[in-house]
Amino acid sequence: MSEAIDHATLDPSRGPAEPLRLMAVHAHPDDESSKGAATMARYVADGVEVLVVTCTGGERGDILNPAMDRPEIKADIGKVREEEMARAREILGVEQRWLGFVDSGFPEGDPPPPLPEGCFAVQPLEVASEPLVRAVREFRPHVMLTYDEKGGYPHPDHVKCHEVSVEAFEAAGDPDRYPGTGEPWQPLKLYYHMTFTRERVTALHEAMERNGLESPYADWVKRFEDEAPPRWAVTTRVPCGEHFETRDKALLAHATQIDPDGFWFVCPLDLQREVWPTEDYHLARSLVDTELPEDDLFTGIREKVCL
């Protein structure tokens, strides 16, 4: 395993510093724009190489924008979502890679129906993880972003995305695992998105009410009263308020999924920047020394890679 993490101990006498690299692993097209988009835009602006990995094509996603709910779009939703993803990645300035799995859909009912045959969520772990291990070994990220074990919310593709991300983080640096997928590479830090935390949602809700605005978060705040405290604490808050416009433009690029008159855009950007100008994460794995709390995903890495 030691051979796989030589990049963590670079000596400046060995040549020019290598660029920092960030990989964000997501379940569907649009997830990258609703979770961590401003963070990615901030790091792109700082010269970091950023790759979004999208596990599925979103083929079973519902059309959530009434203006896009048309028969010709429903008939070719996979292609439409691919085109939306192309626009979003251009707005964010990131690279993007499809893993090629089929959307599992969100099973509804009591009891819920079985998942569709061959979809992403029913794949054996090693089958689902192999293309991500290959992507890690090719792109060589120093930092990976993914969801927690509940997927952020319990969509089966989000849960599977967590599983394959953890597997790839732990396996990509081991030359004995996943043979034939490239030279080993060990990422140094793995984070979980902490996007809709109780603290952030409550702060935005209270700020809107103070300013005489109707808050879209009232039901969320009420639900929080009956929920147990979250398992994962926020360890890292990345300042990125100046990139909120870019995040919103990327969201709007996913026109089948995002209603421009909907929830995402009710809270004014200036108020968001004033109240909560960060995107937040939990540091789940680290192979470098760091001190918590952090304000940079590359804390402990910059000192080694960017000497």
**Hey, CA dihedral for 171, 119, 108, 36, is it positive or negative?**
positive
Which positions ≥6 away from 249 have C-beta within 8 Å?
A: 91
Q: Which residues are annotated as a binding site for Zn(2+)?
A: 28, 31, 158
DSSP of 259-304: -TTSGGGSS-HHHHHHH--EEEEEEEEESS---SSBS-TTTTTHHH
Tokens of 65: 């924008």
The letter for the amino acid at 102 is V
The 3-class secondary structure across 165-179, one letter per residue, is HHHHHHHCCCCCCCC
Beta strands 278-286 and 236-239 are antiparallel
How would you classify residue 118: left for phi > 0, otherwise alpha for psi between -120 and 50, otherwise beta? left
Q: Which residues are annotated as a binding site?
A: 28, 31, 158
| Terminal-to-terminal C-alpha distance of the chain | 24
The letter for the amino acid at 163 is E
DSSP for residue 116: P
Rounded Cα–Cα distance for residues 304 and 302 (Å): 5
Compute CA distances 276 → 194, 216, 300, whole Å. 13, 16, 25
Tokens of 174: 């081991």
